[in-house]
Amino acid sequence: MRYLLLLSSLFLFLHSNAQNSDSNNEPDSIKKTGYATYYHRKFEGRRTSSGVKYRGSKLTAAHRTLPFGTKVTVTNLVNGKSVTVKINDRGPFVRKYAIDLSESAAKKIGIFRLGTAKVQLSYIVE
C-alpha cells in the first residue's frame, strides 16, 4: 500500500513539473491600452532613431521605451482591427499618445482619417 502511495505521489509530482516547465517556455505577452497617432507625410525618408529611413508604406512605429525591433500588435478598440508593427523609432513625445504608427499601419487599423484612436498594445519583451 505504501509503495502504491509513493508511486502515485511521484507520478503527480512529475506531472505537475512537466506542466510548469511547458508554460515557462512561452513568455507572456504584455497588454497595455493608450492612444495611437501616426507620422505625418513630411517625415518620409528621414532617419529614425534606430538609423533606418522612415517609410510610410512599411509597418513600423515609434515608442518611447520599447527596444528597437520589438514587434507590437496594435488593436483599434473601436473597430477591432489589428496590425503588427516593428518598433524602429522613439516617440511620440506628447504624453497623451502611447505609440506613433506609420501611415500604412494607421490605414490598416482604420485611424488614418481620424488622426488618433484608443488602442491596445500587445507585445513580448525578450
**Domain assignment of residue 54, yes or no:** yes
pLDDT digits over 71-89, tens only?
999 999 999 999 999 999 9
The Cα-based distances of 115 to 10, 77, 92, 106 in angstroms read: 59, 14, 14, 9
**Domain assignment of residue 45, yes or no:** yes
Considering its fold, how many domains does the chain have in total? Answer: 1
**Domain assignment of residue 4, yes or no:** no
Pairwise CA distance, residues 102 & 72, whole Å: 13
What is the extent of the structural domain holding 115?
30-123
Q: Is the pTM of the predicted complex or chain greater than 0.85?
A: no
**Domain assignment of residue 57, yes or no:** yes
**Domain assignment of residue 47, yes or no:** yes
**Domain assignment of residue 18, yes or no:** no
Instruction: Return the CATH number at 64.
Output: 2.40.40.10
Pairwise CA distance, residues 90 & 87, whole Å: 8
pLDDT digits over 19-56, tens only?
444 445 567 899 999 999 999 999 999 999 999 999 99
**Domain assignment of residue 9, yes or no:** no
**Domain assignment of residue 5, yes or no:** no
